[in-house]
Structure 1
């Protein structure tokens, strides 16, 4: 009888041990699957949150904007501020500047930037700010590229034209600083130092009354408005 009991007890231990091993194996597989699933989720998140476009440099700017322009043919943007809306039409014969503007608008670069330079009866300039988000955006998109000049013979600055700002130092080719633009208001007599040296890539088609109001704000000695004029921008057509 004792032998039978020991025999049966041994069988119970054996199958119990097998069950424990089976459960342990299942648990290991489940844990491994969970880890794998977590890895897949992390990879998927990285894919969704990673940069959609490469950083723009002087080496790839022409190729990048040429391709981007083909896929994004829009020509109208809306600049909004507390003074109202300004509608801008971008010229197709300045394709790099048009594509660059559309790209920056779609990347939300201009949101939280200002009309940061105001010269009465001359220009209002936008695309910069003194808050940390602006240099961060520039660093993410490409902080060191310039746009090749696209100066059209015979095209001059006149009331409502939109031009790219530029760096004066060591810039014999009149390359445009990509993140800032200005709207011209002044008389043609004040354009001699602008014509042929700055790329005109668009014009205001609606909202020059808003431009006029902005041009009248009080500014400091550096032409910076005393009260920040925040803007947002969107593509409308």
Structure 2
């Protein structure tokens, strides 16, 4: 049975493509118990051991928790954007391949998508939402592995990049966004959709960020768009995704 959380992720009205955000949990630490004063140790110490301890304290500890946090997202992704020239990604499904080109004038979305592909996030996810004559949406699944990957990568938002001016024409690659408390229309880092409609989906312009386009495989998009789905637009047979960077 699919969890309530993932059904909410997949379901969205035709006016939007959304990704439900899971709030992070905060924890507090109790104050340490005050114990009686311990007298200084007067035994001669091994200086070698002391030096090793001091040296260890100088080292920067490894980050505990997600790889990316909101405060570091923009500098992290801008650096990733500058260091990676790859611009094409192949989305592999049992229906065939869909090749997409990423726009360089949406650097945060481009870098984030490449980061996800290079870190194998999308492998094992699905095209989990199919809206007939509208879009196909991917980047989620009903397996625990996807949630584990999200926890490891981080819980953050991508600022919108509407200034680039890309529109939701047929074949547009665009970012889903969280449904709640998202006045800035920031994007989900994990889910994306491809516009299938011949007329485009221009009611989504300046509501979702378009950051790429399909350059090969729209026939595959059309075939996926016709699969049988349940009431939440989740395909009755899962459509698994694998991705690889082409160049």
User: TM bucket by the smaller chain?
Assistant: 0.7 to 0.9
Residue deviations 1:131-178 (CA, integer Å, cap 9, x gap): 011000011111x10101011364311110000000121111110000
On the 8 A contact 1:149/1:198 being kept in 2, the answer is: yes
Q: Which residue of 2 aligns with 1:150?
A: 161
**Counterpart-to-counterpart distance in 1, 2:171 and 2:118:** 23
1:168 counterpart (154, 174, 179): 179
- Looking at secondary structure, tell me which structure has more helix per residue: 1
**Counterpart-to-counterpart distance in 1, 2:172 and 2:165:** 14
Q: Which residue of 1 aligns with 2:92?
A: 80
Residues 201 and 223 of structure 1: CA distance in aligned 2, closer, same or farther (over 3 Å): same
Unaligned runs of 5+ in 1: 1-49
TM-score by length of 2: 0.72
1:213 is aligned to 2:219? no
1:37-76 residue pairs with structure 2 within 5 A? 55-76=67-88
1:235 counterpart (217, 234, 245): 245
How far 1:205 sits from its partner (Å)?
0.1
On the 8 A contact 2:106/2:164 being kept in 1, the answer is: no
Cα root mean square deviation, aligned: 1.7
Q: Which has the larger radius of gyration?
A: 1
Q: Which residue of 2 aligns with 1:113?
A: 125
Per the alignment, in what secondary structure is the counterpart of residue 177 of structure 1? Answer: coil
How far 1:68 sits from its partner (Å)?
1.0
On the 8 A contact 2:169/2:201 being kept in 1, the answer is: no
Counting matched residue pairs gives 185
Per the alignment, in what secondary structure is the counterpart of residue 130 of structure 2? Answer: strand
**Counterpart-to-counterpart distance in 1, 2:115 and 2:170:** 25
Which of structure 1's runs of 4+ aligned residues deviate more than 4 A?
none
